[in-house]
């Protein structure tokens, strides 16, 4: 078992220097200054959060109401010993192991039209990573309707085993990006397979990285 | 003509609600943008489309 107390980890400066070497000084400066809210910490959100933490995003605000279930382990970034924990707590621990100097704010909360404007007030970029279509629509409508200054990256359509290349990133409007194939619905009896969910999660995470890099085309 | 998701349709004079019904889409799982502005759900019934409008209808499916 990994024990933090017994292990010497690199300093903040050492980790930052390693990121700078990989990403370049300019990009790392932007990544470090960025703040991203991730709404929903399932197959999309947990993988997106890990990608962004590894890239050195300075602040992540992670939110989910649910607990880790055995049915999540086929695609979500949790461990069997975390079953029953709140996803927000479990992922917080994992992110801290990956990126100890990332500022992580985790909240066990169910987002709704009432609390969204307050909960998402701080971050520049918002990631929609829910699983239920009506909840996806609720968040997107709420953010686009009430928070026009935010960038929003949403995911829709990643179930089943259809080809990887059906999954794309579209720029719907100036500040609204949509990833996925748009059609593969879990309600059509298709399961969610790690590889295909990760492709969509990677599209979303990369859309966030490009927004941070001020590269807005798709 | 109204451009919906990049394709032209004869929807001039129809409301957003009527357009969604024509497309057989439930209003609970969509976001509708009209000329780059979100149309609030409460306004679907009163927002009338006109010639030259550009509409994006985003339909959400389950899974995540």
Inter-chain residue contact B63 with A197, CB threshold 8 Å: yes
pLDDT for position A147:
95
Reported pTM? 0.95
Per-residue buried b or exposed e for A7-24, using 16+ beta carbons within 10 Å of the residue's own CB: eeeeeeeebbeebbeebe
| pLDDT tens digits along A190-206 | 899 999 999 999 999 99
Kindly list the structural domains of chain B, giving each domain's residue range(s) and its CATH number in brackets, ordered by start. 2-59 (3.10.20.30)
Q: Report the candidate in A117, A107, A110, A173 with the shortest Cα–Cα distance to residue A142.
A: A117
Q: What is the mean pLDDT of residues A112-135?
A: 97
d(CA A49, CA A41): 8
| pLDDT tens digits along B7-60 | 999 999 999 999 999 999 888 899 999 999 999 999 999 999 999 999 999 999
Report ipTM (2 d.p.).
0.92
Contacts of B63 in chain A (CB under 8 A): 43, 131, 157-159, 184-186, 190, 192, 197
Instruction: Tell me: pLDDT of A6 over 80.
Output: no
| pLDDT tens digits along A149-160 | 999 999 999 999
Domain A30-212 matching CATH 3.30.870.10: the answer reads no
Inter-chain residue contact B61 with A43, CB threshold 8 Å: no
Inter-chain residue contact A144 with B33, CB threshold 8 Å: yes
DSSP label at residue B43: G
pLDDT tier for residue A189 given thresholds of 50, 70 and 90: confident
Inter-chain residue contact A136 with B33, CB threshold 8 Å: no
């Amino acid at each position: 078992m990994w024990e933090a107390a017994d292990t010497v980890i690199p300093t903040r400066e050492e980790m930052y220097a390693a990121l700078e070497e990989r990403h370049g000084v300019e990009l790392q400066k932007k990544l470090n200054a960025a703040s991203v809210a991730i709404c929903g910490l399932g197959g999309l959100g947990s993988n997106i959060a890990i990608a962004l933490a590894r890239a050195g995003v300075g602040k992540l605000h992670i939110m989910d109401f649910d607990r880790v279930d055995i049915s999540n382990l086929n695609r979500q970034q949790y461990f069997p010993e975390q079953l029953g924990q709140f996803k927000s707590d479990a992922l917080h621990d994992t992110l801290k192991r990956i990126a100890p100097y990332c500022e992580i704010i985790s909240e066990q909360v169910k987002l709704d039209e009432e609390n969204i404007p307050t909960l998402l007030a701080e971050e520049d970029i918002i990631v929609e990573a829910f699983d239920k279509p009506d909840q996806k629509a609720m968040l997107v409508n709420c953010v686009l309707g009430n928070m026009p200054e935010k960038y929003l990256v949403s995911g829709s359509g990643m179930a089943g085993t259809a080809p990887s290349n059906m999954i794309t990133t579209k720029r719907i409007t100036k500040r609204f990006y949509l990833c996925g194939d748009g059609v593969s619905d879990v309600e059509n009896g298709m399961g969610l397979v790690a590889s295909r969910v990760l492709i969509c999660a990677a599209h979303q995470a990369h859309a966030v990285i490009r927004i941070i890099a001020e590269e807005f085309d798709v | 003509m109204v451009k919906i998701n990049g394709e032209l349709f004869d929807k001039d004079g129809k409301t957003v609600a009527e357009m969604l019904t024509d497309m057989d889409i439930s209003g609970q799982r969509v976001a509708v943008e009209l000329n780059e502005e979100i149309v609030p759900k409460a306004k679907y019934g009163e927002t009338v489309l006109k010639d030259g409008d550009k509409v994006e209808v985003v339909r959400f499916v389950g899974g995540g």
